[in-house]
Amino acid sequence: MTPRTIPDGDETPGAVAARLTGRPVTAERSLSGGLAEVTLDDGRSVVVKRGHRPGAVRAEAAGLRWLAEAGAVRVPTVYGDDPHHLVIDRVPQGRPSAGAAVRFGRELAALHACGAPAFGAPPPGGPRDAYIGDAPMRNVEGTDWSAWYAEHRVLPYLRRAVDDGTVRPAEAAVVEEVCVRLPELAGPAEPPARLHGDLWNGNVLWGDDDRVRLIDPAAHGGHRETDLAMLHLFGCPHLDRVLEGYRQAAPLAAGWRDRIGLHQLFPLLVHAVLFGRGYAEQALAEARAALAR
């Protein structure tokens, strides 16, 4: 009898984990957000994630491997992936601590220092057409951060927000003026850093071993202050200690605090596209503040 081909959407998480890890499965249970936890016969717990957007799983898997390759921050091990599924370590949860925060700051600085071939460079094996959350994110390489950030990280989402009616055409001018003035607002030139790319608090997991692990990257080459600005945007436990550890390992350029809002324009406009007017108003406020300095 010819084996029946099971469509990807009909495969159970346990079947996916067994196929991609090559190990028998002893248990599985659903988690929030469409994830599932699966126990393998050797006792390991893994998470099975299904992606519904073309290229999203490939981008995430490549990003995790690129971050792991740096040997700096900890990320879940990728046990297997295909165009629709990702199987990674299950991270046992702990409580945030000041000591773990300082260590995370040092590790993040080491990750950034590993660098990238260019601003906008995707991880090796990762697609140029990737995602940040549910929003498309195109990785186009550039050598000048100001020009690249304006063209490929700010303006695409501003135009989408205007097209959607979330930002009024007259309001867009303030963000466009920031983009024109970026060379004078951006501070000292920095080499391309290896970024997590979507470093909000929900993607920072505090493990039960007093170590931080990062998940769900939108990894690419960028400016290191962008990752730090994302941590500030939505808050992070012991953020002052994270910054203490970071600056111990890699001092930041003078005036970096004044540039936080500038680097937040990208994620705020992404959120405006995904979630609406409130984030657009925040982006416009940050743009006005940047021009007023």
Give the integer Cα–Cα distance in Å for 69 and 73. 9
- Three-class SS of residue 29? strand
Pairing of strands 212-214, 220-222: unpaired
In 10 A of CB 264, how many CB atoms?
21
Among this protein's residues, is 198 annotated catalytic? yes
Give the integer Cα–Cα distance in Å for 187 and 261. 13
Give the integer Cα–Cα distance in Å for 43 and 287. 51
Identified catalytic residue from 198, 208, 209, 216: 198
Comparing C-alpha atoms, which of 98, 56, 58 is closest to residue 78?
Answer: 58
Query: Which distant-in-sequence residues (6+ apart) come within 8 Å of 292 by Cβ?
Result: none
* Residue ranges with strand state E in 116-258: 129-132, 135-138, 193-195, 204-206, 212-214, 220-222
Say if residue 1 is exposed, middle or buried (CB neighbours under 10 Å; 0-12, 13-18, 19+): exposed
Q: Are 132 and 218 in contact (CB under 8 A)?
A: yes
Say if residue 143 is exposed, middle or buried (CB neighbours under 10 Å; 0-12, 13-18, 19+): exposed
Q: What residues are labeled active site?
A: 198
